[in-house]
Each structure stands twice: as C-alpha cells, then as structure tokens.
Amino acid sequence: MTEQTARPRVVIATDLSEELCREIERQEPRVEVIRDHALPRPMRWPADWGGDPAHARSDDEQAAFDALVDSADILFSIPDTDAGALARTVRANPRLRWVQVMAAGGGAQVKAADLTREELDRVTFTTSAGVHGSTLAEFAVFGVLAGAKELPRLQQAQRGHTWDDRWTMRHLDEMTVLVIGLGGIGKAVATRFAAFGATVWGTSRSGRPVEGVDRLISLDELAEAVAHVDAIVVTLPGTEQTEHLVSEELLRTVKPGVIVTNVGRGTVIDEKALLSALDDGRVAFAALDVFEVEPLPDGSPLWDHPRVLVSPHTAALSTQEDARIVRLFVDNLRRFLDGEPLRNVVDTVEFY
C-alpha cells in the first residue's frame, strides 16, 4: 500500500484557521492535512470562503496555489469558490475523489463548472447543508414576526414621532405557516415555528413525517394549500425544477395578507410577480435574504418597497460556521475512509 493510499491528502483550499486545520488532524489522523496559509485569499469576515477578490496573487503564488490544490485526494473548498478553478483542478488532477463545497446550495457551483459526465462520476461533491439551519431558521421566524407585528408601520410612526391609535397584531400561535422545502433548513424552520405554537405545514417529496410539521403537502397541492396559510417560508435550493416555483399563478391563489420569507435561493420566487402581489395587498410583507440577481441591482423596486425587508444574503453567516462545517467534514472523512455513504452528496443530475 502506498503512502498516498494509506493517508489521503486533504488540501485546504480556503482561508481556514490553523486551529481548525489541526482539529481535522486530531479528529482524523488517517489523513494528511495540507495547507499553506499564505496562498488562499484572506477572509474579510467569518465564513468568507472565497476570500477577498481584491487580493491578487503573484504569478509564482498562483502557480504554487494551483500545484497545492492539484495534489489533493480530497479538497476542502472549491478554490476561491470559483467554478472555473474547480473545473481546472478536476481536469488537472485525476486522483481527486471528493470536494467539500462550502455553500449549503453548492450544487449550483458544481453545475457552473460545466464538468463532463465522466468527471462528475469520478469526483464526489458534498455541501454544507444543515450547517446553516439554525441561523436561517431564526431569520425566517424574524421575518414572519416582522410582518405579523407590522414592523414597517412601527418604524414609520417612530421616525415621525407619531403615537398611532392602537391596533391588533397577528400572533404566531394563531397562524398557519407553510414551509416550502423540508430539507435541513426547512426542518429547523418547522421546529422553531412549532415551538411558538404555530400550525406548521410543509412540502415534502418523500412523504415521511417531519418533527413539528402538522401536515405534509405535495407540490401538486401547493396552489390549494397557499390559499389557507398565513405565512410562506421558502427554503428550497435553486434548480431548474424550483425556478419560479413561487410564480405569478401561485401568488394569485394565496390567502390575502400572507407573509413571505425566503431563506433558500432567490430564483425560487418570481420577483416581478411578488412585487405585483405586494402592491395589491395579496402579500402583506416580504422578508428576503436572497434574490434572483445578487447583489440586488440598485434599480430594483424591492429596495424601496414599504413592505419589504432586504437582507444582503447574510442571514446564514455565523462566527461558528467554519467550526460547524469542519465538524460535518470530519464526520464525512470518517465515512469516506470507512467506505460508508457520505452526507450531503450533490445530485449531479438536478444539482442540489
């Protein structure tokens, strides 16, 4: 058995702290963890996996970085989170077997690399799905509460020093919340709304029971279901199948005054249709962490809409994200070495 076979090379292709690199070594001594902290782009904030795009490597540094990632059996992060760099290293390194993608919806990055079927079959890609569940679930609750308590009205009155007449607010324990997508994030969303006493419905392809979910909805039943719910939380990834799932047609059937929150991918909601529904009152409030085009274009009407909360795709970020991803990665390392199925494997047909 060769040394390479005995100790697969895990190459750290992002600005991961030395402390966490050593944690991988400590947790799984059967691998060799290779890193050079001088080569990845430096992070600008926690979990800035792509690093500072303004950071330019010299020609020698770029050559060294390419050689480093091309030596991997296992890559921790797509280099610079760049699809082109992923394609280059997959083709340059026939021994590469597994890439840990930092994004929960990392299938889109893999798809953008435009790899061949042979390359997709040779390399396994896993995502960080589930790591962001708690933070995104909190934003989903925050978004629905902001709509239920009419945050824009409160802010407007406060800015104008206006003591309005009192009015009734909606309460979570009187609301039915539909979670579109019961993956790792959706399950976390469901349990939190259930803890507040809300009635929780959720869409599921498997039909298996989910903790905190009172009713499972098939996608075929979605148009009927939205006519009866007080809030819709979108957690789905962006795929060809989910694009504009929340469409003009669907929004025509919603219960008037529904609250919409999106913590999945922006392409799931047709923003033009959403704006129309906001304007005529079908949607009372929308809290959006993701958008069809990011950054949100300066001319988008969403910026200035009085009943929209814009979050710059930041709800998932946490000071503990890197440690959480390392824990997931270490568990998958054990599975990889022991010949067990990996968690969060990207479907390279639908890319989710």
Are 125 and 106 within 8 A, CB to CB? yes
Q: What angle do CA 204, 206, 207 make, to 5 degrees?
A: 70
According to DSSP, residue 246 is labeled: B
Instruction: Determine the pLDDT at residue 104.
Output: 82
Question: Would residue 248 show up in a list of annotated catalytic residues for this protein?
Answer: no
Predicted local confidence at residue 46, as pLDDT: 87
Q: Is there a catalytic annotation at residue 265?
A: yes
Spans in the chain with pLDDT lower than 50: 1-4
Per-residue pLDDT, 136: 97
d(CA 231, CA 46): 31
From the list 130, 90, 149, the residue with the least C-alpha distance to 114 is 90
294 counts as catalytic: yes
For 81-101, the pLDDT digits (tens) are 999 999 999 999 999 999 999
Q: Which two tokens stand for residue 30?
A: 């059967």
Instruction: Give pLDDT, residue 2.
Output: 44
pLDDT of residue 323: 96
Q: Residues 313, 327, 335, 343: which is the catalytic one?
A: 313
